[in-house]
Chain A
Amino acid sequence: MSAAPPARPAPTPPATRPARPARRRPFARRAGGGQTRLALLLLLPAALVVFGVVLYPAGRALVISFYDVDSPFPGRYPFVGLRNYTEILADDRLWAAVGHTTYFTLVSTALELVLGLGLAQLLAAPIRLRWLFRAIVILPWALPTIVNGAMWRWILNAQYGVANALLTQLHLQGDYRSWLGNDPFLALNMVVVADVWKNTSLVAFFLLAGLQTIPRGLYEAARVDGAGPIRAFFRITLPLLVPNIALVLVLRTIEAFKVFDIVYVMTGGGPASGTQTITFFTYLQAFSAQRFSSGASLAYLTVVAILLLALLYLRLLRQSELMSP
């Protein structure tokens, strides 16, 4: 910068020297102000989009949560401070929804992890037509959640559902029964089943990626030392998979915590509000009851909860990384 060149030097093609790996540090000061400016210029459209569709709406929602906005139109609304938060925190329906969400998150994530681990082992096994099995297993994940929810709603239909027909004909149950309508807790568990069916494949593929990085030699050495497959699993596979497990846990917990669409399609929050989750309750408040401020404050409480979860997970992850070999 001190001695500005009179004119920009023409870009000379690298004659004989191999190109320096300058690309790795685009912001290095030596690369010159022009390049930095270009980089910022190139980043500008993305930054604008991010501001427009993420930051601005998020900020607007935060502001709305301090007012009493009861219509979808812009206008003047009374400022109420934290009243929306205190009112919503005192609402029994919120705590019921928190209970449902917590149960859903814990059970579905745990099941997906255990089943996904087993499935990943199968998919990693050296068998014929492995590509075909892998393709089939990814199918549930490829299905949109709405389609998945509608499918399970039909499978579990009390009057015409396949589940009832199958279980009755196999004499596993005496008569047709209601899966989604009569018992709120059973309905919640059925939503968990539908979610596990879809998301186990994602978990399996994350773990499969991890499995493939474990050197074969470790298992051979363990076998030589007399360790059986179970011991090898707990002493080699599991410890080496910890980073993958942690990653998939973070993803799945946060996703499960935000569950909305599958509930909307399968049960609509019923029976007796027994499958209402936090996001579903937020939706009802904001759009069905037109309490936009209440909905916004609920959304922010959810954000805080997820942020805390993420921090907790990152801490666990760092610890596990320090411990893993």
Chain B
Amino acid sequence: MSENMSELSRRRLLQLTAVTGAGLLLAACDVGGGSDTGTGADSGAAGNGEGQIKALFMKQAGYSEDDIRAMTDEFQKKYPKIKVEPSFVAYEALHDKIVAAAPASTFDVVLIDVIWPAEFGSKRIVTDVTDQFPAEWKSDMLGGALATAAYRDRYYGVPWILDTKYFFYNTDMLSRAGVDPASLSTWDGVLTAAQTLKAKKIVDHPLIWSWKQAEALVCDYTQLVGAFGGKFLSDDGKSIAFNTGGGLQALEFMKRTLDTKLTNPNSVESLEEDVRKIFSDGQAAMALNWTYMFNAANDPQQSKISGKVGVATTPSGPASAPGVNGSMALSVSSGSRNQKAAWTYISYITSAGVQDKYAKSSLPCWTKSYDDPTVASTLPQVVPVAKKQLANLIARPQVPRYNEISQILQAELQNALLNRKPPKKALDDAAEQARTLLA
């Protein structure tokens, strides 16, 4: 063994480095590809509207994997000349997967979050579909849904999942504590109810949130920023505003519920799925979560509290009660060589007929669906709540560098929640780091 080791001497290592260096010089001849068309992304082609396409979805919240496979099967029966191959990744991996797959044009259809059109549109990772976007869709879709795929008056996809965070509560726990669900219409009321639940030892930690260092944390924070009347950016969009007023009060509120032990301390390592599990296990009385939790928490196969789930619009703070816009859209990737077929597929699965059929997993983007008795009857408790909540949404900032700003914000919010910095200092630090990213 020692003989082998001495073969790899320092000299040999330096020689190897030199050879590598020579290789590097060769590669240096090619700077960033040869294209002269700026960020020349539109290497795709319309195609003949037939053949195979690949679609990228997430396996989390919204429509389930089974739903999407069923929709796709129905689509293929109707359009036998197009073959669709769906793929699924966790939401946390979705953005990076889209970016990494873009140069190779691996996917023709990608699911994008409401926070990405600015980034993906300006970098031409997805195509601008404004010209194909029928005028009647603009009037027939709900406003919150339309905003999902729009950036600077252009459309970069078709809205598909219209979602916001609703307030869920365990009706059984509340009645045992003698709390009137109507008192949960304000965050003050929620805190009082939580204190009662804790004092009567009905549950250790009445509240559970998704406060892991991830986008989920920013979603919860956004909803509270809205409740406390805060803003992410100043009105001209040129400076950061979350470190003052409502933005600061929202974080102080979060911190207070942790300090008073009304919030489950494991919130800081939970995502939406963890919230669902803990709530469904009867280990929390109240939680914010996406629409899908209503159906999941009422499913006896995966929940111990089936039939005891109440849902309401988000509680209001001193300012108002907007829900975070957590919608998603389907886009055609710029590199797709089969953009026509991709558009056919997107048009089909975003259509009102298909969305109405799967309304149980995700509510439709179409205004008229909410008056459709079949949709209303699939989720009779949720639809009236949704009608009210979806009219009042708050958006996260629509800026190309949103993802980077969000990462900074997530880390600083956690610094405050974990007692490593006072809330004001944490938000000031986040604002300072994010300042240069707005330009």
Residue A8 CB within 8 A of the other chain: no
Closest to B271 in A: A268
> Distance in Å from the Cβ of A158 to the closest Cβ of chain B?
4
Decide if B103 touches A268 in the complex (CB within 8 Å): no
Residue B199 CB within 8 A of the other chain: no
Chain B 20-48, CB-CB to A under 8 Å as 1, else 0, gives 10011111101111111111110000000
**Chain A residues, Cβ within 8 Å of B41:** 71, 73, 75
**Interface-facing stretch out of B1-9, B222-230, B320-328:** B1-9
> Distance in Å from the Cβ of B134 to the closest Cβ of chain A?
29
Residue B55 CB within 8 A of the other chain: no
> Distance in Å from the Cβ of A85 to the closest Cβ of chain B?
16
Q: Which of A65-101 contact B (CB under 8 A)?
A: 67, 69-77
Given contacts A59-B25, A310-B13, contact A72 B92 (CB under 8 A): no
Decide if B31 touches A289 in the complex (CB within 8 Å): no
**Chain B residues, Cβ within 8 Å of A69:** 32
**Chain A residues, Cβ within 8 Å of B404:** 288-289, 291
**Chain B residues, Cβ within 8 Å of A210:** 1
Chain B 80-101, CB-CB to A under 8 Å as 1, else 0, gives 0000000000001001100110
Decide if A272 touches B23 in the complex (CB within 8 Å): no
Decide if A269 touches B32 in the complex (CB within 8 Å): no
**Interface-facing stretch out of A24-32, A195-203, A255-263, A311-319:** A311-319
**Chain A residues, Cβ within 8 Å of B268:** 178, 181-182, 271
Decide if A75 touches B35 in the complex (CB within 8 Å): yes
> Distance in Å from the Cβ of A235 to the closest Cβ of chain B?
19
**Chain B residues, Cβ within 8 Å of A63:** 27-28, 30-32
Given contacts A182-B269, A288-B96, A321-B2, contact A58 B23 (CB under 8 A): yes
**Cα distance, A76 to B401, chains bound together (Å):** 20
Decide if A72 touches B103 in the complex (CB within 8 Å): yes
Decide if A76 touches B32 in the complex (CB within 8 Å): yes
**Cα distance, A319 to B173, chains bound together (Å):** 70
Decide if B266 touches A178 in the complex (CB within 8 Å): yes
> Distance in Å from the Cβ of B117 to the closest Cβ of chain A?
14
Decide if B32 touches A158 in the complex (CB within 8 Å): no
**Cα distance, A287 to B102, chains bound together (Å):** 11
Residue A246 CB within 8 A of the other chain: yes
5 nearest A-B pairs in the assembled complex, by CB-CB distance:
A74-B33, A59-B27, A181-B269, A55-B23, A270-B213
Q: Given known contacts A59-B25, A272-B213, what 12 new A-B pairs fall within 8 Å (CB)?
A: A62-B28, A64-B32, A72-B99, A73-B41, A158-B269, A181-B212, A268-B214, A270-B214, A271-B418, A288-B407, A289-B404, A314-B9
Interface residues of A (CB under 8 A from B): 51, 54-60, 62-64, 67, 69-77, 158-160, 178, 180-184, 209-210, 213, 243-244, 246-247, 268-273, 283-284, 287-291, 307, 310-311, 314-315, 317-318, 321, 324
Give 27 A-B contacts (CB < 8 Å), ordered by A residue.
A58-B27, A59-B24, A59-B26, A60-B27, A62-B24, A62-B27, A62-B28, A64-B32, A71-B123, A73-B33, A76-B35, A77-B32, A158-B266, A181-B269, A244-B1, A246-B5, A247-B1, A247-B5, A270-B410, A271-B213, A273-B213, A287-B96, A287-B99, A310-B13, A314-B9, A314-B10, A318-B10
Interface residues of B (CB under 8 A from A): 1-2, 5-6, 8-10, 13, 17, 20, 23-28, 30-41, 92, 95-96, 99-100, 102-103, 119, 123-125, 212-214, 265-266, 268-270, 274, 277-278, 283, 401, 403-404, 407, 410-411, 414-415, 418, 420
